[in-house]
Amino acid sequence: MKRRIYLRKKALEEAVAIILKACPWTQALAPEEVDVREARARVTAEAIYARRSVPAFNAAAMDGIAVVAEKTFAAREDQPLSLKIGQEAFWVNTGEPLPPGTNAVIMIEEVHPLSPEEVEIMAPAYPWQHVRKIGEDVVEGELLFPPSHLLAPWDLGVLLATGHLKVKVKERPRVAIIPTGDELIPLEEATPERLAQGKTVEFNSTMLAALVEEWGGVARIFPIVPDKPALLKERLLSVVKDFHLVAVLAGSSAGAKDYTAQLVEELGTLLLHGVSIMPGKPAVFGLVEGCPVLGVPGYPVSAILAFEKLMRPAFSAMLGVRIPARPKILARAGRKIPSRLGIKEFVRVKVGEVAGRRVFLNLKRGAGAITTLTRADALCEIPEDWEGIPAGEELYLELLRPEKDLAKTALIVGSHDLALDVLAEFVKKKAPEYELSLAHVGSLSGILAVRDGLAHAAGTHLFDPESGVYNVPYIKKYLPDTPVVLVHFVRRQQGLIVPRGNPRGLKSIEDLVRQKVRFINRQPGAGTRVLLDYHLKKLGLDPSALPGYEDEETTHLGVAVAVATGRADAGLGIQAAARLLGLDFVPLFEERYDLLLRRDFFASPFWAVLASVLEDPSFRARVEELGGYDASEMGKVVYQQ
């Protein structure tokens, strides 16, 4: 089969309209009868009426005595009225039927016993006082639920109370999920040897099946189909008659092994190929023998977002109910987020509250970075006609998880350090209600975020060549009027991250230039970049003479991965990152890494928790175990203004 380009991409709203128009969703689901006790979250297939009244008898609404109200009208505080038990008054408990002929209940607090056979009251009762009358809640024959009603837990109680043991509901939408790709293997076959051969564990189908079940459907995951058009064609034709929707995972793009769009066009009608969203652009939709077929991208974040944005409205239409939308909150961007015109982008973000205002920071944007969804609090939607989001811009976010107590979330930005991940772990263990949200933007950007009220704290290791001092000169320069506190975190080793065995025999910065080593750099504003530039200048070396100087990563781990995968021969970074990936490390400099805190955060209960973790010997030991760290002065205040 030949490679083909995308059909004209559709905007998301247009793509959804095409899907809804093409499918007879409302006629697709047949009714079925189920036990009421197993009907939670099912959708009614027909109108349901009460088979009996609730309550079915006149019932006491209070503990006390049942009486004939008209016979108590003479009671006064100065003229109490005596009543004979068993003749004029009858003891009742809440919920019990009223004795025949009675029509009111007097609360036990207002009844004064005179003897076991006689009581007195000091105020009259009125008819039907403290009585739940027959049919007060529901009257026999009354409409309980219309068709297409999503049954909540309390709805089941009403059905049982009104005489329904069975209820007719719409069958669950059946979805066939077909993973495809030569590179995929099930988890059971994921041995180290097979993974080393370029195989990938298939897990997208499990995520999509969970979404289907969350929306009220039932999913069946089929075995992985290799990248062979004939096999995929055979599988498609075998399932379309038995399912309401078929989802083909991967193969939806425009590559040489992407067959979904061509097969849908060959076997039926191709209605859509390409949606103007990111992640999720390479989506396919069409009909095969009348069955809707959706092709979603292979990258996990693309698969999730394409499936959710295109299929959530379809499930709502199919079931006839509105699947609840996620709540939204208003927040400010903690940093600039660039974006492409003409594409609606969904950025995964963390959310916190700084100085009384909600702030969000974006996570990594790769379509394959599934952890950006597991770590994200919300989705930020960047419209097609926006060329990114400026720092400080306010817009609504779609929450991915229940809204948390934002006062107990700290946004820590700035320079990347592996010890901060360990800090987040220890904070969660010590005080589970607190959470650190980390974003790696470089030391200088972190300092500016603290200044602008877009972060609680910043990790920084900016070296000032003139004074030989770390961080403080930059704080004085960029934050002269901002109340801040600088707290020491660690001393750490910076050096060359190189492949195991150091095959180029690198020992110094000069060796990088002399041997024309392929280098991987850090982004401008990162403390590591500042340190490199300082030493290049000190040695009289031109940065342009260093191959790869313009090739950048935003974290020490990113640098280490570039070296481990052969993209670069060396990079400047910390020893802990090299050790984590089994690489060698050539130590060159020791530097100071500090935490810059807003003064109000320094005075907060959250910082008290953090400070206690910094003093914990087990935390310090864990940090030093990473390699290249000295945590002996951790937590010491080194500067404040």
The residues spanned by each domain of the chain are 12-26+173-319, 30-54+137-170, 59-132, 334-401, 457-640
Amino acid (one-letter) located at 557: L
Domain 59-132 has CATH 2.40.50.140: no
Please name the CATH architecture into which domain 12-26+173-319 falls: 3-Layer(aba) Sandwich (3.40)
Q: Which of 325, 350, 326, 328 is nearest to 337 (CA)?
A: 350
C-beta separation of 59 from 99 below 8 A: no
Q: Which of 360, 339, 330, 331 is nearest to 348 (CA)?
A: 360
Neighbours of 494 (CB within 10 A): 24
Neighbours of 74 (CB within 10 A): 9
Query: Using the 8-state DSSP alphabet, how is residue 187 labeled?
Result: G
* CA-to-CA separations, 478 to 97, 300, 482, in angstroms, rounded: 78, 41, 9
* CA-to-CA separations, 207 to 192, 311, 322, 372, 374, in angstroms, rounded: 23, 14, 21, 14, 12
Place of tokens 């209605």: 271
What's the rounded Cα separation, in Å, for the pair 483 and 561? 38
pLDDT at 3: 45
What's the rounded Cα separation, in Å, for the pair 77 and 587? 94
What's the rounded Cα separation, in Å, for the pair 608 and 603? 8
Domain 334-401 has CATH 3.40.50.970: no
pLDDT at 252: 60
| Chain centroid to CA 53 | 44
- In CATH, what class is 30-54+137-170? alpha beta
10-residue averages of pLDDT along the chain (641 residues): 55 94 77 96 95 93 96 95 96 96 96 95 96 91 94 96 96 95 90 87 94 95 93 94 93 65 92 91 92 92 94 92 88 88 90 87 74 85 91 91 77 89 93 87 89 92 90 95 96 94 94 92 87 91 91 90 94 92 94 95 94 96 94 95 93
pTM of the entire predicted model: 0.77
Neighbours of 612 (CB within 10 A): 15
CATH number (3.40.50.2020, 2.60.40.10, 3.30.1490.20, 3.40.190.10) of 457-640 reads 3.40.190.10
What's the rounded Cα separation, in Å, for the pair 481 and 27? 66
Q: Which of 289, 303, 199, 196 is nearest to 248 (CA)?
A: 303
